[in-house]
Structure 1
Amino acid sequence: MRRKIGAVLAASVLALLPAPALFPAPAVAAPVPPGAGITVSHPADGQTVSTGPLTVTGSVRTGPAGVRSVTVERDGRPPFPATVTSGGDFTAEVGTIGAGVHRIVVRAVFGDGRTAERQQWFTGRAGSRYVALGDSWSAGAGVGPYRDRGCPRSATGWPARVRAPGGGSVTVEACAGWTGTPQRLRALGTDADLVTVTFGGDDIGLAELAGLCATRTACGTADFPGRRMSLDDWARIRTALLRDTLDDLYRRIRARVRPDTTIVAVTYPHLPACAARPGITPGERRWLTDRTDDLDEVIIDRAAKHGLLVADVRDAFRRGGACDHRGPGSFHPNENGMIRYAEAVSAAIRQGKPAKAGSWSPRRYPDATVTAVRTTRLVPVEMAAGRPACDRPGGVRFLAGGFTARSTVIARWSGARMAADDQKRVTAGDLKRVTADDQGWVSGWATLPAGLRGDAVAGLEVRGPNPQHGTTLGAGTLRVAGTATCADRERSAAAPRSGLSRPASAAPRPGLGHSASAVPHPGLSRPASALPRTGMPGWTLPATAAGIALILLGLALVRMTHSD
């Protein structure tokens, strides 16, 4: 009886094992035809894609034999046939994927009967991932409250209101004063489905140009402070220099995401239409509008070159009343403006039409003038709550960055829009000299004369050398406080335009010219505790080992029965 039981058990174990496990034949792979091979473009190996219907795309290098057919197997299901073009590009609809890890196997049969195979793994994730890049215009300047010291941004800016396809998560990497440095691109990866970017407004000092017009007469034709050129020439040259900068930025963004990731370049609104400011003449308003148009046309032209979508927000702001009204130097969208921004961007995403190249062309200037502009920066000057401080009569706390470390920086008031007597008293004040810290930031107190009219608009200009061997000019404006008490002023004090604060250990801000090293996408790794499934890499060896163990167990039982 024991003999029969042992024999039956051994036979059952052997029957459960596949023949190759007992008598493995040497694997001899048929050679792939010369010049042949398979490339899968989507989904990439290790990529995270949205759940739902999946289309696998790629190409087959057929060589001289040609290709007979291409199939795609997903997660062990029967192969899906692919459509193959004469050039070898293939497309296959492989059904709906859920969340989790998935495998595809692409097989090609060539004209001479030989085959090629490529296997890749990817992860399905519910919802889409949206990354917002940019300067203060994407960072939510104008609405607050602001977070992240050293990189002020607001959680209530327009990126949080964009209707991204599929919903999902939003990552805001925008930063007021961003110069295109690579560290802000760290959130980009092949899992990004949507990217928006505003760049150029802070680089040319769009809000600061408007602020200079609020405190200077004939601002377009007036000399640029500290330079032998007009503010108009400076703005035109700075805009022209943006072309190469935008090319580099758009190229680096595209290199970090998937080929099918939607990238949207967002323009800037007309500032005079955005929010009217007292004292600025109709001619100066037209000048500001023209310079904004120059900037937007450059953005559209470079976006078209790189195949990006464009969200042009200028029409959305023509009605006015959509900018921060809490200080004459704000010039950034308020709550209503954020809604208009989000609507314009959402519409551009829905339409999905690539940008068309524009016809804007720059003026020609002497090389020396272009070099001077290239090394000159226009930055914001933040003033505490936009009003003189109560604990220091006539004193205003200010902060600005972008200067050479330990250099001497000069601060002075301007007041061309003030009454004649107030203007004389303001501009006749002594220059204030302050020393930049080790990170190029300056802060201090600037004192206004007592008795100024309460509706006067004063400008503070802070000028000094920068690390590019040029000049940094900081410009800020504020409405002079009237006869209100300190308690009244403190209750009504508004937040700074961009919430700028100097971090305890702020790193120098390198220019866009610094190269960005590509961030390798980490390969998909299986948890150490996960057991291999049939069809997964490495499943054959554990299965064979288990079979051998069962064979030995069966032989031992047979021997025991014979010993009886």
Structure 2
Amino acid sequence: MARTRVATMIAILSVVAMVGAGIAIAEMRSPTVNAAAQAEHPSLKYVALGSSYAAGPGVQRLTDKGCLRTADNYPHQIAAARGMALTDVSCSGATTANILHTPQAPHAKRPQITAVTADTDLVTITIGGNDLAYIGRVAAQGCANMASTATAGTVISGCRPGQRIRTEPTAADYAAVEQAIITIVSEVRSRAPHADVVLVDYPPLLDQHARTCAQIPLTAAEAAETVRVYNGLVAATARAAGATGVTLVKASKAGAAHTACSSQPWLLGFEPPSPYHPTELGKTGVARLVLRALRGDV
């Protein structure tokens, strides 16, 4: 089991253009949306598009090893709660291009958008972080910092100082993400004109003061940059939602009390099984937000 967790951690960081660090620890457990709920819409079809924050990487209940997609991610919890037929093509490492026109080799033979058909009733979208190397940058920084300060008894595999770290995105980069999300929504509507379309943004890794903790091995400057990049991503997603008129589920707002340094984190820190990615509590938290939005409770 320890080897499996280490391998999965390394794979997750590799998918975001990183090598990972492995420490075998127990996976945290948190409540899930009631999967035994009576089916609300047994004949309706739901397609989930997005990156790792939708795929929900972890070591248990993997449904797709290439994409590190799990059976307890927020799309699966939504489908179970509403009794919908789910096609989940979310994939760790995906960019907006992988949804629109570029297959995510070697994990997918077709762009994610091809899963959306005329009889689709619901589409959720969580995307944009990898276009900006949001988590890839943070992972590279943490990996380099841990490699240079690791003490005896700490097991870190693959981390090293001097790794290439992407520069901070520009205004043009954020504008490109905004436009790409607008294009995705337009394409979804073209393919499934009767579908409800929901944009789900990313929960925050750090609070707005860029406070770190033992689980977040970043310098003050790196933490501040992380918050700037995150805010730029959230703002681009919000602008795209406003431009297209789709529902925006703000995991960014609800997750502010559940950063990686909080007592009930929605995201892991730099730790297995999925560094800087949703915990079980986070997957359930986002699922509940989407379910509330679908009921109109926003």
TM range, normalised to the smaller chain? 0.5 to 0.7
1:19-34 maps to which residues of 2 (within 5 A)?
none
Aligned to 2:150: none
Aligned to 1:262: 196
TM-score by length of 2: 0.64
Q: Go from structure 1 to structure 2 and tell me whether the alpha carbon gap of 1:139 and 1:298 turns closer, same or farther (over 3 Å shift).
A: same
> Among 253, 258, 262, which residue is 2:188 paired with?
253
Aligned to 2:268: 324
- CA offset at residue 263 of structure 1? 0.2
- SS of the residue aligned with 1:130? strand
- SS of the residue aligned with 1:162? helix
Check whether the contact 1:239–1:298 (CA below 8 A) recurs between aligned residues: yes
> Among 344, 347, 354, which residue is 2:289 paired with?
344
Aligned to 2:43: 127
CA–CA distance in 2 between the matches of 1:242 and 1:294?
Answer: 10
Check whether the contact 1:140–1:158 (CA below 8 A) recurs between aligned residues: yes
CA-to-aligned-CA distance 1:321-361 (integer Å, 9 cap, x gap): 222353397100011111111112222222277xxxxxxxx
1:95-174 maps to which residues of 2 (within 5 A)?
126-142=42-58, 144-162=60-78, 167-174=83-90
**Alignment coverage as a number of residue pairs:** 219
Check whether the contact 2:57–2:277 (CA below 8 A) recurs between aligned residues: yes
Q: Go from structure 1 to structure 2 and tell me whether the alpha carbon gap of 1:144 and 1:164 turns closer, same or farther (over 3 Å shift).
A: closer
Check whether the contact 1:193–1:262 (CA below 8 A) recurs between aligned residues: yes
Code of the residue aligned with 1:157 in structure 2: it is N
CA–CA distance in 1 between the matches of 2:202 and 2:268?
Answer: 15
Check whether the contact 1:128–1:165 (CA below 8 A) recurs between aligned residues: no
Q: Go from structure 1 to structure 2 and tell me whether the alpha carbon gap of 1:143 and 1:204 turns closer, same or farther (over 3 Å shift).
A: farther
1:387-536 maps to which residues of 2 (within 5 A)?
none
Code of the residue aligned with 1:323 in structure 2: it is L
Check whether the contact 2:268–2:274 (CA below 8 A) recurs between aligned residues: no
- SS of the residue aligned with 1:264? strand
Check whether the contact 1:275–1:322 (CA below 8 A) recurs between aligned residues: no
1:181-330 maps to which residues of 2 (within 5 A)?
181-182=100-101, 183=110, 184-215=112-143, 225=164, 231-232=167-168, 234=169, 236-258=171-193, 260-273=194-207, 276=213, 277-317=215-255, 318-320=257-259, 321-324=265-268, 326-327=271-272, 330=275
- Which sections of structure 2, spanning at least 5 residues, go unmatched? 1-40, 102-109, 146-161, 260-264
CA-to-aligned-CA distance 1:340-398 (integer Å, 9 cap, x gap): 11112222222277xxxxxxxxxxxxxxxxxxxxxxxxxxxxxxxxxxxxxxxxxxxxx
CA-to-aligned-CA distance 1:420-465 (integer Å, 9 cap, x gap): xxxxxxxxxxxxxxxxxxxxxxxxxxxxxxxxxxxxxxxxxxxxxx
- SS of the residue aligned with 1:310? strand
- SS of the residue aligned with 1:314? helix
CA–CA distance in 1 between the matches of 2:42 and 2:242?
Answer: 31
Check whether the contact 1:211–1:329 (CA below 8 A) recurs between aligned residues: no
- CA offset at residue 197 of structure 1? 0.6
Greater per-residue helix proportion: 2
1:79-90 maps to which residues of 2 (within 5 A)?
none
- CA offset at residue 249 of structure 1? 1.5
CA-to-aligned-CA distance 1:474-496 (integer Å, 9 cap, x gap): xxxxxxxxxxxxxxxxxxxxxxx
Check whether the contact 1:144–1:153 (CA below 8 A) recurs between aligned residues: no
Alpha-carbon RMSD: 3.1
- CA offset at residue 212 of structure 1? 2.8
Code of the residue aligned with 1:265 in structure 2: it is L
Code of the residue aligned with 1:208 in structure 2: it is G
- SS of the residue aligned with 2:115? coil
Greater per-residue strand proportion: 1
- SS of the residue aligned with 1:285? helix
| Identity within the alignment, % | 25
CA–CA distance in 2 between the matches of 1:349 and 1:248?
Answer: 22
- CA offset at residue 200 of structure 1? 0.4
CA–CA distance in 2 between the matches of 1:163 and 1:147?
Answer: 15
Task: Answer with 1 or 2: which has the greater Rg.
Answer: 1
- CA offset at residue 278 of structure 1? 4.2
Q: Go from structure 1 to structure 2 and tell me whether the alpha carbon gap of 1:235 and 1:346 turns closer, same or farther (over 3 Å shift).
A: farther
- SS of the residue aligned with 1:331? coil
CA-to-aligned-CA distance 1:22-50 (integer Å, 9 cap, x gap): xxxxxxxxxxxxxxxxxxxxxxxxxxxxx
TM-score by length of 1: 0.35
CA–CA distance in 2 between the matches of 1:224 and 1:241?
Answer: 26
Q: Go from structure 1 to structure 2 and tell me whether the alpha carbon gap of 1:180 and 1:141 turns closer, same or farther (over 3 Å shift).
A: same
Q: Go from structure 1 to structure 2 and tell me whether the alpha carbon gap of 1:290 and 1:328 turns closer, same or farther (over 3 Å shift).
A: farther
Check whether the contact 2:249–2:289 (CA below 8 A) recurs between aligned residues: yes
- CA offset at residue 213 of structure 1? 2.9
- Which sections of structure 1, spanning at least 5 residues, go unmatched? 1-124, 218-222, 354-564
